[in-house]
Amino acid sequence: MFGLIRQDRDLRVDFFRGLALWIIFVNHIPGNWLGLVTPRNYVLADAAETFVLLAGYGAGLAYGRLMDRQGWFLAVSRVLGRVFTLYVAHIFLLVVFTAQVGYSADRLDAHVYLDELQLDPFAREPYRALLEALLLRYQPSFLNILPLYIVLLAMFALAMPLLRRTWLMLGASAALYVATRTFDWDLPSWGGEGWFFNPLGWQLLFFIGCALGYQPRGKGAPLTVPYRRSLVALSLALLAVGVVATQLLYFRWDFAEQRLPAALARFLAGIDKAAMHPMRLGSMLALTYLAGHFIPRTAGWLYSRAAAPLVLMGQQALPVFCAGIALSFLGRVALEISDAWPMQLLVNLAGLALLVLLAALTAWYGAEKHAARRSAAPPAAVAGPATAPVGGPVPAAGPAAAASPPGTAAALPAVTHGDSG
């Protein structure tokens, strides 16, 4: 397994992206005991926020470098190519997931599956449902992350020149975020209820990731957030408030509604995920700040056998994500047969093993294909300038790019966009 992991990159991003993918799998299985210990139960941030932030970071790093070297047009063409890849993956996953759930609902006489996973439109209006799904206006449950990512990357293609004016880009993104929350802006959906993940709200987290990931060529310095004790204290305080808010909102709402002041109860009730409530945004940024400063790039545990499965999953994120969605439904069916601890253990370990196996096969195939291209290339091409293609390995960053210990500035670690989702 270690031979399949690319070491010429900062493994922190790969680890946390792999962890987010694993958590998505776990949380999508109703009745999974392991889901009781995932972050969504304790803080106002979860795997979706991690996924989007790291996707933005990867986009800023890989495509920003390409834009600086070869111009905006070529960089945009690569971004749009990635958008198309994600769209095809989403449609393929939609077909597989719909067939999987529909067949199970029919064979097990459990039509509640269709209702709970919002697939019943395929039973009522199959042709219209298919058309709306192709237009991304209809998104069944669990199939709403890739449409969000598709729209965010399309927005990034247009905003890419602003990477060179980081604060202007962030200012425009923040203005759109404020307007979205103030005027309830959203993209159209078939049912009229809006998107589960509103891209107009989530784009701020994505573009913050872009700003942190962009490494300007020549003049200018990458955006860093310096270590300050006051910022550490603020981050910890924000997370502590988030822990209390999470418990009240999801586990003690009757108490909150009856005992708390009406204004505070209304505030808690308004902490939404759809348009990225400021409390959720702040919690994710607090976690990022603490992780960037207190987890060194050279941490030994990142290179351990225990971390290797998640690191490998994080380096092959798109196929692992798609497989995790399909496997999570199989896990649900299994736990409905028996939710005792042997089945719980089997579902979680088998799911993890299959995801790691898929990541290993994908990494092996990619390495073989890359080696075949190199062997077929003429000597002049092989000996040419060593520039990393988008989606390929990124040369190891120098000390300035690594997350520094407390007392110095630190940016998020380096990833390649081709693996970011």
C-alpha 97: how far from its chain's center? 20
CB atoms within 10 A of CB 246: 22
The full set of domain ranges for the chain reads 2-371+399-419
- DSSP codes, 311-349: HHHHHTHHHHHHHHHHHHHHHHHHHHH--SHHHHHHHHH
Residues 247-270: what's their mean pLDDT?
93
**Amino acid 235: pLDDT:** 97
Which of residues 185 and 403 earns the better pLDDT score? 185
pLDDT in tens, 348-392: 999 999 999 999 999 999 888 777 777 776 665 444 433 333 333
- How far is CA 80 from each of CA 68, 98, 158, 161, 232, rounded to the nearest angstrom? 17, 27, 10, 15, 38
Residues 136-155: what's their mean pLDDT?
97
- Amino acid letter, residue 264: L
Whether 312 shows a pLDDT value over 90: the answer reads yes
225 bridge partner residues? 410
pLDDT in tens, 335-345: 999 999 999 99
Average of per-residue pLDDT values in the chain: 88
Which stretch of 82-91, 241-250, 292-301, 408-417 has the lowest confidence by average pLDDT? 408-417
User: CA 401, CA 289: separation in Å to the nearest integer?
Assistant: 15
For residue 406, what are the contacts with CB-CB under 8 A and spacing of at least 6?
227, 232, 293, 294
Instruction: Of 270, 362, 373, give the one whose Cα is nearest residue 318.
Output: 362
For residue 132, what are the contacts with CB-CB under 8 A and spacing of at least 6?
121, 138, 190
Which stretch of 20-29, 105-114, 144-153, 284-293 has the lowest confidence by average pLDDT? 105-114
Q: Whole-angstrom distance between the N-terminal and C-terminal Cα of the chain?
A: 21
What letters, b where the CB count within 10 A reaches 16 and e where it falls short, cover 389-415?
ebbebbeebeeebbbbeeeebbbbbbb
Whether 407 shows a pLDDT value over 50: the answer reads no
Q: What confidence category does residue 181 fall into, taking pLDDT thresholds of 50, 70 and 90?
A: very high
pLDDT in tens, 25-60: 999 999 999 999 999 999 999 999 999 999 999 999
Coil/strand/helix, residue 107: helix
Helix ranges, 251-316 (H): 253-259, 262-269, 278-294, 308-315
Angle between helices 47-70 and 72-107 in degrees, nearest 10: 150
User: CA 152, CA 79: separation in Å to the nearest integer?
Assistant: 11
User: CA 90, CA 294: separation in Å to the nearest integer?
Assistant: 36
Counting every residue written for the chain, the total comes to: 421
**Amino acid 222: pLDDT:** 81
Put simply, whether the predicted model's pTM sits higher than 0.85 gets the answer yes
DSSP state, residue 303: G
410 bridge partner residues? 225
